[in-house]
Structure 1
Amino acid sequence: MKFPLYFSKKIAFSKDNKNNLSRIIVFIGRLSVALGVIVSLITVSTGIGSKTAIKERMADFSGHISIKSEKSNNSYNSSPLSTEGLQIQKIKELPDVASLQEYVTSSGILRKEHNFAGIIFKGIGPDFDHERFKKFLIEGKTPRVKEGVYNGGVCISSKLASDLHLKVKDSIVAIFSKEDQKPLYRKFEVVGIYKTDIKMIDDLFVIGGINHARKIQGMNDSEIGGIDVFLKNINDIDKDAPAVDKLSGYKNYTVKATEEYPQIMDFISIFDTNIALIIAIMLFVVIINIVMVLLILIIERTNSIGMLKTLGASNGQIRTIFINYTLLIMIPGLVLGNLIGLGFLLLQKYFSIIKLNPENYYISTVPVDLNIFYILAISLGILVVSAISLILPSYLISKISPVKAIKYN
């Protein structure tokens, strides 16, 4: 074992340190490190967790990538998807693709005797992933659709259910209109109630059978208004979107879930700024406190520095001893910070203690992303940054004269 590291361990874990004047400064240094780790862990885990959770909620409802007809022109009323150049089987075979769902949408109104609400009726087919949608259901079920069969069940949002005073098994009339045509009236039964916590979805979408939507839009039994493409990983959207677009046909276009609701993505981008700002502030606080600890230790052990110089230790070796010494006394703070921070995050992850207002945050609880890479990076980052920041203050040691230090004692 090298001399500087050996000597650092000896003085860092010496019982004498418990009674000297530096114990308060050491305690403050450890406390600042623990707080820095706790705040950084919570900031990174909840920030990244929130970003991922919001993106996944958008994507799990409407697909990571949606294929639409150019004729739709961003309208809520679907136009038939062009089959020219559309290679559905090749899209399914892409490595990152999990599943595909066909749909047709139509705008309309849900009407009750004393109230009404504008809606987007999303007609789903037999390929609808009921298991993926289950996370949104709070009551009932999603409509089971068969080809050629008109399923009269619909799944509405909790917002629409509250506004229209509807519950499962209630009936509701929907009105759809197209240019130069009489309004179409359809009677549906509420079979399920869902909640995504995303206002733009919960305020509008009603899930029903694709055959009703085809009839409303004047499509035949083989036509569809779009395809929702679901990926295995939300973070692969940007990578896989060009491949899906290439296989969607030249008369169709693709829309990523992250582009569908730009206002939500603008909100999510704030998390990156907040994470960087909070971590920078915590690092600054930790560095200031650790530098203060080092300077106090140097002043307190001036005599020891003089003795080491007298015995032939170089300034570089002594600086290394005190830098190691300071880093070693940080370890209890790192351990305590990780234990408290991870303990809090685990409680939040499994018990959802802290709630949020979904109208403002698009999620109802604070989500947690426990990634071992981030956990290790925070602790190692604090150690490395602290070590680098201690180099300059440690040069104070070279100014200490051995004769004066020993005489001072």
Structure 2
Amino acid sequence: MKFPLYFSRKIAFSKDNKNNLSRVIIFIGRLSVALGIIVSLITVSTGLGSKKAIKERLADFSGHITVKSTKSNSSYNTSVLDNEGLNIKQILSLPDVAAVQKYAMVTGIMRNEHSFAGIIFKGVAKDFDSLRFKKFIIEGKTPFFNEDGYNNGVVISQKLAGYLHLKVNDSIVTVFSKADQKPIYRKFAVTGIYKTDIKMIDDQFVIGDINHVKKILDMKDNEIGGLDVFFKNVNNIDEDFPAVEKFIGYKNYAEKATDKYPQINDWIGLFDTNMGIIISIMLLVVIINIIMVLLILIIERTNSIGLLKTLGATNGQIRATFINYTLIIMIPGLLYGNMIGLGLLVLQKFFGIITLNPENYYVSVVPVDLNPLVIISISVGILIISGLALVIPSYLISKISPVKAIKYN
């Protein structure tokens, strides 16, 4: 074993450390490390968890990528998707594509004796991924859309249900308007109630049969308004987007889930900034405290430094000894910080103790992403950066004279 590491371990585990002044300094150093780990773990895990949860909610409701006609305008009434160059089978054959579903949308007004509400009626077909949508259902169920005739069952949001005083199995009249024509009335039965916690979705979307939309918009049987493309991993949207674009035709265009709602995309982008700022602050606190620990240990053991120099130890060996000593002191702080931080995160992940207002945060419970690689990287990163930060302060050792140090008490 090399001399610096051997001697630093001897000092670190020496019984002399139990009763000297360094006890308080060592405790402060370890406490700062533990707090740095705890805050960093919570910041990164909840930040990544929130980003992932919001992206997944957006994507699982309306597809990771949506394919629309270039004729589409600002209206929510969909234009017919152009079939020239569109190859759904090729899109489905892409390795990362999990499913593709057809849809068409039209705007309308739901009304009853209690109130009325403007809605976007999203018509889906028999390829609708009800299993993926099931996570949003809080009451009732999603009807089966077999495209044979007209299914009058609809799924509405909890917010719309509360506003219109509706519950499962209730009926509701919806009015659809067409240019230069009389309004079209449809009576639907509420078969399910969903909740995504995303205001822009919960405020207006109703899921129903695509045949109703086709009839209202005078679409042919083989025509659709768009495609929802689902990937196996929400984090692969940017990488897989160009592959999907190749098979949609030049008269259609693809849109990412996060691009539909720029305000949510901006909100997600803030997480990276906030995580960077908080981790930088905690790292600075840890480094300052660890440097303080090193300097005090050097001053406290000036006599030992002089003795080591007298016995032939080089400045480099002594510096390495004290750097190793300081890093060894950090290890209990790292362990306790990880234990406490991970314990708090596990409690939040499985019990959802801390809740949020979905109107502001797009999620009702603070989400947690326990990524082992991230967890290990935080601890290793703090240890390595702290070690590098100790190099310059350790040069104080070279200024210590052996003769004066041995006399120092």
TM-score by shorter chain over 0.5: yes
What displacement does 1:240 show?
1.6
What displacement does 1:237 show?
1.1
Unaligned runs of 5+ in 2: none
What displacement does 1:9 show?
0.3
Show the counterpart of 1:205. Answer: 205
The answer as to whether partners of 2:114 and 2:165 remain within 8 angstroms in 1 is no
Residues 218 and 209 of structure 1: is their aligned pair in 2 closer, same or farther, counting only changes over 3 Å? Answer: same
The answer as to whether partners of 1:126 and 1:144 remain within 8 angstroms in 2 is yes
Counterpart of 2:356 in structure 1: which amino acid? L
What displacement does 1:222 show?
1.8
Counterpart of 2:183 in structure 1: which amino acid? P
Show the counterpart of 1:70. Answer: 70
Show the counterpart of 1:360. Answer: 360
Show the counterpart of 1:233. Answer: 233
Distance 2:401 2:239 in 1: 62
Number of aligned pairs?
409
Distance 1:350 1:201 in 2: 26
Counting only pairs closer than 5 Å after superposition, residues 259-298 of structure 1 correspond to structure 2 as: 259-298=259-298
Show the counterpart of 1:142. Answer: 142
- What's the secondary structure of 1:391's corresponding residue? coil
Distance 2:14 2:114 in 1: 80
Counterpart of 1:134 in structure 2: which amino acid? K
The answer as to whether partners of 2:48 and 2:369 remain within 8 angstroms in 1 is yes
TM-score by length of 1: 0.99
TM-score by length of 2: 0.99
Counterpart of 2:371 in structure 1: which amino acid? N
- What's the secondary structure of 2:403's corresponding residue? helix
Counterpart of 1:6 in structure 2: which amino acid? Y
Distance 1:376 1:393 in 2: 27
Unaligned runs of 5+ in 1: none
What displacement does 1:75 show?
2.4
The answer as to whether partners of 1:119 and 1:204 remain within 8 angstroms in 2 is yes
Distance 1:319 1:70 in 2: 67
Distance 1:179 1:239 in 2: 41
**Which range is displaced more, 78-87 or 44-53?**
78-87
What displacement does 1:39 show?
0.3
Show the counterpart of 1:83. Answer: 83
What displacement does 1:289 show?
0.4
The answer as to whether partners of 1:143 and 1:207 remain within 8 angstroms in 2 is no
Distance 1:308 1:103 in 2: 79
The answer as to whether partners of 1:148 and 1:221 remain within 8 angstroms in 2 is no
- What's the secondary structure of 2:103's corresponding residue? strand
Counting only pairs closer than 5 Å after superposition, residues 4-403 of structure 1 correspond to structure 2 as: 4-403=4-403
Distance 1:205 1:154 in 2: 11
Counterpart of 1:220 in structure 2: which amino acid? K
Distance 2:98 2:140 in 1: 26
Counterpart of 1:378 in structure 2: which amino acid? I
- What's the secondary structure of 1:363's corresponding residue? coil
Counterpart of 2:201 in structure 1: which amino acid? I
Distance 1:84 1:405 in 2: 86
- What's the secondary structure of 1:196's corresponding residue? coil
Distance 1:282 1:98 in 2: 40
- What's the secondary structure of 2:117's corresponding residue? strand
Structure 1 residues 172-211: Cα deviation after superposition (integer angstroms, max 9, x where no partner)? 0000001011100000000000000000000000000111
